Structure 1
Amino acid sequence: MGVNLGALVLKSAGLSVSDYASVVSINLFVALLCACIVLGHLLEENRWVNESITALIIGLCTGVVILLTTKGKSSHILVFSEDLFFIYLLPPIIFNAGFQVKKKQFFRNFMTITLFGAVGTMISFFTISLAAIAIFSRMNIGTLDVGDFLAIGAIFSATDSVCTLQVLNQDETPLLYSLVFGEGVVNDATSVVLFNALQNFDLVHIDVAVVLKFLGNFIYLFLSSTFLGAFTGLLSAYIIKKLYIGRHSTDREVALMMLMAYLSYMLAELLDLSGILTVFFCGIVMSHYTWHNVTESSRVTTKHAFATLSFIAETFLFLYVGMDALDIEKWKFASDSPGKSIGISSILLGLVLVGRAAFVFPLSFLSNLTKKTPYEKITWRQQIVIWWAGLMRGAVSIALAYNKFARSGHTQLHGNALMITSTITVVPFSTMVFGMMTKPLIRLLLPASSNAVTSEPSSPSLHSPLLTSMQGSDLETAAHIVRPSSLRMLLTKPTHTVHYYWRKFDNALMRPMFGGRGFVPFSPGSPAEQSVHGERLTLQINEIF
């Protein structure tokens, strides 16, 4: 597309043909990103289309145009890279999700989220894997072995937590948002851990000891990744609190927060842990401690900077996924059997539906058995929305498929090409169809009035003081409420009881050491002076985390 002419024009400037082609590609991609932002703004109030679907459609249209202009030689501007996705694009998205998430709702449902994200992913993995072995082994689709079929289970068990941010609103549906998105983060981490473990898994000698070792390794990765993220967040809070860098430069505060967040992700990858979990919990800890230790201007800057980086990365991903769906090289190897390719994609889509239903409804039933009050239980309508909203598959699935079935983005094996083309068919289809239908489905099943009633308690209960930050005289005011014993509270309200004692521990030890709201040291020009204007520091009643 004019590369030779451009090379002649820019030859005097010292740019080679490849350099010029890269400049053209980057310019075109940046222009497409701008177009996505503008169209996303124009479609802001649309009940069917959101920005992720807009980027996906623009990517598809751009792929068609490139195919026509290059006479069928290429469909995308940039070559898909797993490193680009996992190292540069995914960290800001997951970190911002942890930084912005409503921690009260997230930790209130933490056990359910972990149940869905870890146990549910394992159920979905086994369901899809066993069905793939039973069905695909009879279809003569190439030289695929048991390890490939198990990898398919891990690939299509990974939900698209990025698109969840677009189709669900944590202000309108806080319970659903915390469950679906929280599950998505744990699900992505579980799927990646499963996928990596299968690469070195001995499929010949499988016994109980190997399975137990695998489960033990998963628990170790989950706990270690969470600890590393929390440790990095606390370290950033301690450094900024003690040195108070904002006295001289707010830019250094912002830069330190960004770099330490990214450092947590890279350390996790270096130590073979889950970078997704690490950077997510790093974001949670930073928003709880570090963010309150910086100056007021740095708070505004970091909040918008993290959200902007996340937004650009999300748009970039969906734009590229749209173009990659028309990758002509992969379709050439699968073109001799288009009916088989469509059949495989349809089967995989059906397995995604069945695999998610296999754990959402049974685990919701088990979760409801532990809930004492009706508002805490997951209703049947909410279960349907949770099932539907988690059917979307995204860039994690594509990255894992390329990792398994391609080498440097290329493949010449018929079976591998079929798996990749099926993946890049299922991902855009599920994102557009399920994504477009999620908001209307929520409006149909969960009207605003009923959702408001079921997501939060309507009246104070005996345990209401456990969900506040009351301290000192505030607690004395509420002393007329007779609380049951600690053991009884733990048995009847385990989540609220753990939260109550965590608040006491946080106020007594963590905040004085690492900072946070109410414990920022007062000094001229400090955040304390700007936020309270010289008044004594107090804890705000409604600040839960």
Structure 2
Amino acid sequence: MVDLLLFEIFLCLLFVSIFLILGTYLPKWGFWFIHESGIVIIIGIAIGAIMGAAWTSPSEFDEGIFFNFMLPFLILNAGYNLKRKRFFKNIGPIFLFGIGGTLTAFIVIGLEAYLFSEMGLIIKDGKTYHIPLQDGLLIGAVLSSTDIVCTLAMVKEDKTPKLFSILLGESVSNDAIGILLVQTLSSMDLSNIGAKELFIFIGKFLYNCFTSTICGSIFGVVTTYMTKRFKSLRDDPSKMIGLFLYISWIGYTVAELLGISGVICILVASIISGHYSFYNMTPSSRIACTEFMHFIGDAAEALIFAYLGLTTLSYDVFSVSWVYLFFMIIGVLIARLCGTFGLSFLARFLSRGKHKLTIKQLAVCWMGGIIRGAVSFALVLTLDGENEKIMKMTVLALVIVTTLVFGVVLPLWVWWVDPKEEDVVTVDAQKVLGDLAIGHNRIVITKGDSEERGWFHRTWRNFDNKYIKPFLIDPVALEEARKIKATIKSLGRSSVGSVGEGHEEHH
């Protein structure tokens, strides 16, 4: 008798291999408008259907496996390889969409889910069902988390670095905020909602954000300080990889055990350790750590899509209310529109035109955040209660439909909108830095880099250079970093009259 778990592991690994091969060859074959995630999900669903007909239904999606053994690696890669200077330079729109947009989506989708229910749109087997406000808001919290993997594959970093940075930063912060919303809302009873309950909700949410950030900062500083003090350790690439992986993972588990956000904790820890530890490492360690983080991130992403497709038919997804599902998809489009165009126009009005995103960039941000992926899939499985089947089937069906449909629509949309950025120069680090180039791939310089920094950015950079870097970075490595930065600044002025970004932009 074939072991079901072992067989499913075999299938998932097979799908991961297909995912990686397709990711390389689809663009070469001319299928640039198809993302490999949709193909892998379709293959997984087909194999699951064959298994169910010929042998036994696949196992259900295990949210514990997802949150403890898949999601941490995805976030770790995103944080470690984050282009930090461009991230913080675009921190305004990233927070606007990642936090403001997520909260907007939560409120709009949550109210829509409740109001559509009150309108009698949940129809199953000839019966009409209704859900209370709290369950509607839970659906909103679950669906506030977007999946921008397909969009990032279509938006080229060397052609639109600003837009790429905004979408990447939004996707990372969006997942963290979405998970926080579900955790906070699940711990409360909003049957008699009032001002007191609203303040309690806001207080719990802010407390979770603050404590998770502090926890992540502690683990990030500990990891970085170890690379400064233990010189033999930082000269060994395999030990450095283990240090980053295990200490960051420990931070994630500690945060979860404390009842705070492990996602925010590991994100902050990986950003800090990736930024400051890079200076301390030898060139070989830099290359090894960077490539390994890319590997585990890509592997986790592929495994998630494979697992998602394979386990889909283990649920009765065809029992969903199709009318309700249709209106919820329209509701997601409206919520995303409010969270991009609406917030952007409001920010532009309040900042007197300083918020500079073009209509084309906003159009890509809008459509790029429609897909709901594995995080929403896993989050909805954690919900329980009287209406859990309605909520789960609605969200699961919406995840599959948006992934498959918009996975094809998005590449065509990005191609049609064509969000170009002017004065973008990409140069070979080897030609510019010489012997200092090891660990640097390429340098992207844009006209926007020469713009004057805001007060907050200048204050933080001064504090960082005066106190944090001397504490966490070896003096010799810090001097080398200053030489690299001065060289790239000079290059930036001669190329587009701007400031380049060194390893903080591409390492």
Q: State the TM-score, normalized to the length of structure 2.
A: 0.83
Alignment-derived partner of residue 99 in structure 1 = 80
Contact 1:324 1:424 in 2 (8 A): no
Alignment-derived partner of residue 305 in structure 2 = 318
Contact 1:164 1:181 in 2 (8 A): no
- 2:477 maps to amino acid: V
Is 260-269 or 139-148 further displaced after alignment?
139-148
Unmatched segments (≥5 aa) in structure 2: 426-443, 490-499
- 1:86 maps to amino acid: F
Q: 1:255 to 1:417 in 2, by over 3 A?
A: same
Alignment-derived partner of residue 423 in structure 1 = 395
2:381 pairs with one of 391, 394, 402: 402
2:66 pairs with one of 85, 89, 104: 85
- 1:497 maps to amino acid: W
Alignment-derived partner of residue 366 in structure 2 = 387
Contact 1:405 1:419 in 2 (8 A): no
The reply to whether residue 438 of structure 1 matches residue 399 of structure 2 is: no
SS of the residue 2:173 aligns to:
helix
The reply to whether residue 188 of structure 1 matches residue 175 of structure 2 is: yes
- 1:444 maps to amino acid: W
Distance 2:46 2:218 in 1: 45
Contact 2:48 2:310 in 1 (8 A): yes
State the Cα deviation string for residues 169-217 of structure 1 (Å, max 9, x = none): 3333222222223222222222222212222222234222321232232
1:378 CA displacement: 1.0
Alignment-derived partner of residue 56 in structure 1 = 41
Alignment-derived partner of residue 429 in structure 2 = none
Q: How many residue pairs are counted as aligned between the two chains?
A: 466
* Percent of aligned pairs sharing the same letter: 29
1:299 pairs with one of 286, 304, 322: 286
2:146 pairs with one of 159, 176, 191: 159
State the Cα deviation string for residues 138-165 of structure 1 (Å, max 9, x = none): 2455474332222111111111144454
The reply to whether residue 504 of structure 1 matches residue 484 of structure 2 is: no
Unmatched segments (≥5 aa) in structure 1: 7-19, 335-339, 407-412, 464-494, 523-527
Distance 2:282 2:256 in 1: 31
Distance 2:132 2:253 in 1: 33
Alignment-derived partner of residue 266 in structure 2 = 279
Write the mapping of 1:221-232 to structure 2, written as runs, cut at 5 A.
221-232=208-219
Write the mapping of 1:25-424 to structure 2, written as runs, cut at 5 A.
25-45=8-28, 46-70=31-55, 73-74=56-57, 76=58, 78-137=59-118, 138=120, 139=122, 140-142=127-129, 144-246=131-233, 249-327=236-314, 329-331=315-317, 334=319, 341-369=321-349, 377-405=356-384, 416-424=388-396
Q: 1:458 to 1:34 in 2, by over 3 A?
A: closer
1:91 CA displacement: 0.8
1:87 CA displacement: 0.9
Q: 1:41 to 1:215 in 2, by over 3 A?
A: same
Q: 1:246 to 1:457 in 2, by over 3 A?
A: closer
Contact 2:152 2:167 in 1 (8 A): no
Q: 1:125 to 1:521 in 2, by over 3 A?
A: closer
Is 424-433 or 363-372 further displaced after alignment?
363-372
SS of the residue 2:327 aligns to:
helix
Distance 2:409 2:469 in 1: 44
Structure with max Cα Rg: 1
1:520 pairs with one of 472, 477, 486: 477
Q: 1:461 to 1:48 in 2, by over 3 A?
A: closer
Distance 1:384 1:267 in 2: 39
Q: 1:451 to 1:519 in 2, by over 3 A?
A: same
1:314 CA displacement: 0.5
Distance 1:29 1:236 in 2: 33
SS of the residue 2:138 aligns to:
helix
Contact 1:264 1:275 in 2 (8 A): yes
